[in-house]
Chains A and B, each alone.
Chain A
Amino acid sequence: MKLLNNAVAGIRPEQTPPGRGRFFRSWLKIQMENEGYQPPLSGLILLQICIGVLFFVLITRLWYLQIQRGEEFARLSLENRLRQERIFAPRGRIMDSAGKIVADNRTACGLALVREDCRDIPATLTQISVWSGIPSAQIWEKYQQDRLKVKSFEPILILTDISFELLSRIESEIYAWPGLEIVVRTKRDYPEKDIFAHVLGYVAEVNEKEMGEDSSLATGDLVGKAGMELELEKRLRGQKGLYDVEVDAHGRALGKFLKKEPRGGHEARLSLDLSLQRAAWAALGGEAGCVVVMEPDSGKLRALVTSPAYDNNLFAAGISKRDWEALRTSNRFPLQNRVIQSVYPPGSVWKLVMAALFLEHGISPRESVSCSGQVKLGEQIFRCWKQGGHGVMNMENALVSSCDVYFYLMAEKLGIDKIEAFAKACGFGRATGIDLPHERSGLVPSRAWKRRRFGQPWVRGETYNIAIGQGYTLTTPVQIAVYVSALLNGGDLLKPQLLENDARVVTGRLPASDRTRNFIVNAMRQTASGGTARVVARGDADMGGKTGTAQVVKLKMAAGDRRLRSAEMEYAQRDHAWIATWGNKSGKRYVVVVMVEHGGGGSTVAGPVASKIYDHLFGLGTALTARTAQ
């Protein structure tokens, strides 16, 4: 050390204290430099420049960040810490014409577990199993499934839609189980289930496509997917509210501030009558078929029932794959709204259209035809439904007894082109415009259609089939109801209305004079009082009707020339049964159309259904006396 120190140039040793060791001496020795030392000027300037640069650079940068771009960073910092959480607006309820609720909002309570707060998760899950009776393995599985989807401080929903009894039991014991909480959510509820399923449709979680079309929708929102829920979506939905939720860097919510109040959706009032709807459902008795009850003057639908249906609550709760598969693959097609989506040959009900056509084209109602039970056209034989024939038939007789031969021959006179034009003008072959999605338009065949469809010219025999509502002609039950209503209301083809407060909408005019319409209405009256539609006759009301039997497969003839009876055929091959009726009791007029799939004869299967509906509309007591009087 000492050597080193002594080697230093320009420094002289001083103040060497006596009597210490060498090391300490060297440590205590203070070496002084020459006096008059001045720090190098360039060095001092360097230090000052350093300070100046530091100040200038930092202040410039701070100015840039905090003043120049301050607002931008303030926004980014706000976005960092604020998440928006929506508040679901209550969806508008749907009521029947009398104000009874058919689509409601119900609060459903669920039980959720917050992992972070839960001391002993297996024990807690076991307790949930004890409460709910669900095997603990199943609860454990659900927990494991959802565990990774949420953060440790977010609730995992274990039980949904807890019953009131269970809820009160859990509430009384929940204090002993930290980490459990009861979650309340709103659920769409359809108390009438199947009876209104097709009219109301259902709500379910929004999908990608719907979100693309409507920017106000976000994942997790419920939207109408079918029926009125879909049709009235905009009106029922309301406007979501917003919470500003303050979160930390881990996404944990620290506080909520109401930013925008939710606005509930508007309520909707259907024209349908809940009790009538129930009665119609009961009258169908589980058969596959449908009922339309329409007010001919206003176009309002009072009942619209299709059977079989489904429980739309299943969809609202999120349908399970198994339930969905069962509905989708059922051979009874419960997902089909038969009133507007099923197209059937109208059978003899079609004769109401044909007769109007004849009258409008100058065929006199008195002009008669002799029915021998069949007509020959070249090699082909066209039979009347009545073996042996009806004898001499004028138009009214032919309608009342539904004589096929009369219509074969008269239709042939006019030809397919006139039939096509007239049927189309009567509203067939196009949608009625009812406020339900996916309505089908049916089919009025024509020469052009046949060439397009089959590449073949029209043949005369086909005109015969069309004349009695068989062959290619396809109609929906609601089209028949609209047509019959037009006969009664002075010739207005009305849009069938499902909403009580909607105004009457005329979609077209029936190309038929008053005389024509009155003739047909009267013929229906005769048919109800003594013809094929006798089943709906009643003493207390003016009634009219027309039955129809639509062949599903080409007529199967048993040995001999007799048609097979329904009971002798396979279900899927049996005829569809139709009845189109009207009733008028002290000024209250209704059109009731019933269609029973594979029901067999119109009068025997569809008729009693219509009759029961009139019992509900007009009262039961007098109807019974009327029927016994028959």
Chain B
Amino acid sequence: MDTRLFGYINWSLLALMLLLYLTGVINLYSASGTRLDSGMTFSGFYQRQLIWGACGLCGMVAAMSFDYRRLRNLAWPFFLITLVLLLLVPVAGKSIYGAKRWLSLGFMSIQPSEAAKLAILLITARILSRETQPLGWKNFFSVIGVAVLPCAFILLQPDLGTTLMILLILTGMVLFHGLRGYVFKTCLFLAPCAAAFMWFAGMRDYQRQRILTFLDPGNDPRGTGYHILQSRIAVGSGELWGKGFTEGTQSQLRFLPERHSDFAVAVFGEEWGFVGCLILVSLFCLFLLGIFSTASQAKDRFGSLLVVGVFFYFFWQIFINTAMVLGMMPVVGIPLPFISYGGSATVLNFTLIGIVLNVSMRRFMFKG
């Protein structure tokens, strides 16, 4: 490998990612603490997150080790394998909380819907990279058409959150690439119709219930509204300076549900207050800006679209998760990158940043 490449790495993006990841680990230490009458006990989430981070770093290095342009060749095979795995889920998957999302490989379980995100990201980047002009109807439908099948499978698991994520990443990439004016206007008109169709045909009762509860959380304070109420109390009670590290009563005394996964940032808000949150949100925005700059510097359309896909992958997770924790959106099971605990998510996040770094370091590798 050309050692010059190291010089081109977007080091600030890497540093920001590691900073966010370490913030997440420190926050997880506190979020995994439980105060009992005998004192504090800590479960091992933060330790495991450290191990997953190490795995993620390996994934990142691996993702940087080859020329990203080779990925374009992998897009279709990867997509087809993912589709097969998704087809296997209803047949051989195991059921958790009434949803079949996992495939058991004996020694570990995998979630094909996670792989589907990456597969769609790659395939969309590949398809769009052929087009030099804004999309007309024909190309628009070829992009949508590729995504329909995996999305349908995932929706049936049922996993509304992942389906939405895929569609949102797709939308982001398509909008980045550009649409012809008439296509854009028609889509804008049809979006409410699609939402209505989702509500009546695509959603399960509990999913509708979540949205209704979000609109009026006080309606059911002990049931589905509990998450939203307790999360808002946790964040709000942090006030300006926060309650202090490991001093968050909402989390230590277990009022806050899912405090190490989806609601981890509520723990952060409670303990570090508005000041801490301001810093964290700024870090995330700088992190996104780092990805953005790579996208803008990329010297080929495929690389640029790849980075934009990763950008939206992170953007929507950050947006949806924090909006949910802050009580601006219904509860959907979407974690906050680097802050929420999660093994495969951490590895995937690191790997995706690896791809971005890959694009950034090879931005001068073009034949003149």
A70 nearest CB neighbor, chain B only: B239
- State whether the Cβ of A567 lies closer than 8 Å to any Cβ in chain B: no
Interface contact tally, CB-CB below 8 A? 185
Residue among A1, A40, A67, A246 with the highest chain B CB neighbour number at 10 A: A40
**Chain A contact residues: over half helix, strand or loop, or mixed?**
helix
Neighbouring A residues of B274 by C-beta, 8 Å: 62-63, 66-67, 70
Neighbouring B residues of A72 by C-beta, 8 Å: 236
State the CA gap A86–B39 with chains docked (Å).
Answer: 24
CB–CB A80/B278 < 8 A: no
B127 nearest CB neighbor, chain A only: A8
- State whether the Cβ of A454 lies closer than 8 Å to any Cβ in chain B: no
Q: How far is the CB of B311 from chain A (nearest CB, A)?
A: 6
Q: Which one, B15-23, B89-97, B247-255, is touching chain A?
A: B247-255
A253 nearest CB neighbor, chain B only: B37
- State whether the Cβ of B175 lies closer than 8 Å to any Cβ in chain A: yes
Chain B 107-121 against A: per-residue CB contact (8 Å), 1 yes, 0 no?
000000000000000
B270 nearest CB neighbor, chain A only: A77
A246 nearest CB neighbor, chain B only: B253
| The residue from A32, A51, A71, A80 contacting B367, defined by CB atoms under 8 A apart | A32
* B128-170 with Cβ < 8 A to chain A: 129-130, 132
State the CA gap A605–B138 with chains docked (Å).
Answer: 120
**A80 with B239: in contact, given A37-B299, A42-B178 (CB under 8 Å)?**
no
State the CA gap A65–B242 with chains docked (Å).
Answer: 12
State the CA gap A1–B78 with chains docked (Å).
Answer: 12
Neighbouring B residues of A46 by C-beta, 8 Å: 172, 175-176
Q: How far is the CB of A281 from chain B (nearest CB, A)?
A: 52
Q: How far is the CB of A574 from chain B (nearest CB, A)?
A: 67
- State whether the Cβ of A506 lies closer than 8 Å to any Cβ in chain B: no
Neighbouring B residues of A65 by C-beta, 8 Å: 232, 235-236, 269, 326-327
- State whether the Cβ of A620 lies closer than 8 Å to any Cβ in chain B: no
- State whether the Cβ of B302 lies closer than 8 Å to any Cβ in chain A: yes
Q: How far is the CB of B281 from chain A (nearest CB, A)?
A: 5
CB–CB B76/A28 < 8 A: no
CB–CB B282/A66 < 8 A: no
- State whether the Cβ of A48 lies closer than 8 Å to any Cβ in chain B: yes
B132 nearest CB neighbor, chain A only: A10
- State whether the Cβ of B73 lies closer than 8 Å to any Cβ in chain A: yes
State the CA gap A189–B95 with chains docked (Å).
Answer: 63
- State whether the Cβ of B216 lies closer than 8 Å to any Cβ in chain A: no
* B281-337 with Cβ < 8 A to chain A: 281-282, 284-285, 288-289, 292, 295-296, 298-302, 304, 308, 311, 315, 318-319, 322-323, 326-328
State the CA gap A8–B125 with chains docked (Å).
Answer: 13
Neighbouring A residues of B315 by C-beta, 8 Å: 50-51, 54
CB–CB B328/A40 < 8 A: no
| The residue from A40, A55, A69 contacting B282, defined by CB atoms under 8 A apart | A55
Neighbouring B residues of A8 by C-beta, 8 Å: 130
Q: How far is the CB of B80 from chain A (nearest CB, A)?
A: 11
- State whether the Cβ of B35 lies closer than 8 Å to any Cβ in chain A: yes
CB–CB A40/B70 < 8 A: no
State the CA gap A72–B233 with chains docked (Å).
Answer: 9
CB–CB A39/B304 < 8 A: yes
Q: How far is the CB of A324 from chain B (nearest CB, A)?
A: 39
Chain B 205-245 against A: per-residue CB contact (8 Å), 1 yes, 0 no?
00000000000000000000000001011111111100000
Neighbouring A residues of B319 by C-beta, 8 Å: 54, 57
CB–CB A70/B302 < 8 A: no
Q: How far is the CB of A33 from chain B (nearest CB, A)?
A: 4
- State whether the Cβ of A386 lies closer than 8 Å to any Cβ in chain B: no
Neighbouring A residues of B270 by C-beta, 8 Å: 77
A35 nearest CB neighbor, chain B only: B366
- State whether the Cβ of A44 lies closer than 8 Å to any Cβ in chain B: yes
Chain A 67-88 against B: per-residue CB contact (8 Å), 1 yes, 0 no?
1011111101110110000000
Neighbouring B residues of A35 by C-beta, 8 Å: 299, 366-368
CB–CB A54/B237 < 8 A: no
**A43 with B250: in contact, given A30-B67, A55-B285 (CB under 8 Å)?**
no
CB–CB A74/B237 < 8 A: yes
State the CA gap A288–B295 with chains docked (Å).
Answer: 104
CB–CB B285/A54 < 8 A: yes
State the CA gap A72–B289 with chains docked (Å).
Answer: 35
Q: How far is the CB of A155 from chain B (nearest CB, A)?
A: 14
- State whether the Cβ of B60 lies closer than 8 Å to any Cβ in chain A: no
Neighbouring A residues of B328 by C-beta, 8 Å: 57, 61
- State whether the Cβ of B201 lies closer than 8 Å to any Cβ in chain A: no
| The residue from A4, A43, A73, A254 contacting B37, defined by CB atoms under 8 A apart | A254
Q: How far is the CB of B193 from chain A (nearest CB, A)?
A: 23
- State whether the Cβ of A554 lies closer than 8 Å to any Cβ in chain B: no
* A299-314 with Cβ < 8 A to chain B: none
Neighbouring A residues of B326 by C-beta, 8 Å: 58, 61-62, 65
State the CA gap A37–B131 with chains docked (Å).
Answer: 12
B77 nearest CB neighbor, chain A only: A1
State the CA gap A5–B127 with chains docked (Å).
Answer: 11
- State whether the Cβ of A555 lies closer than 8 Å to any Cβ in chain B: no
**A73 with B237: in contact, given A40-B177, A55-B281 (CB under 8 Å)?**
yes
Neighbouring A residues of B232 by C-beta, 8 Å: 65, 73
| The residue from B69, B236, B304, B311 contacting A32, defined by CB atoms under 8 A apart | B69
Residue among A9, A37, A254 with the highest chain B CB neighbour number at 10 A: A37
CB–CB B277/A62 < 8 A: yes
Closest 7 CB pairs of A and B: A73-B236, A43-B176, A77-B237, A70-B239, A248-B253, A249-B254, A66-B274
A-B contact pairs, 21 of them (CB 8 A): A1-B76, A9-B130, A10-B130, A33-B129, A35-B366, A37-B300, A40-B178, A50-B288, A51-B292, A54-B315, A57-B323, A63-B274, A65-B235, A66-B273, A66-B277, A73-B239, A74-B237, A77-B250, A80-B253, A246-B253, A253-B37
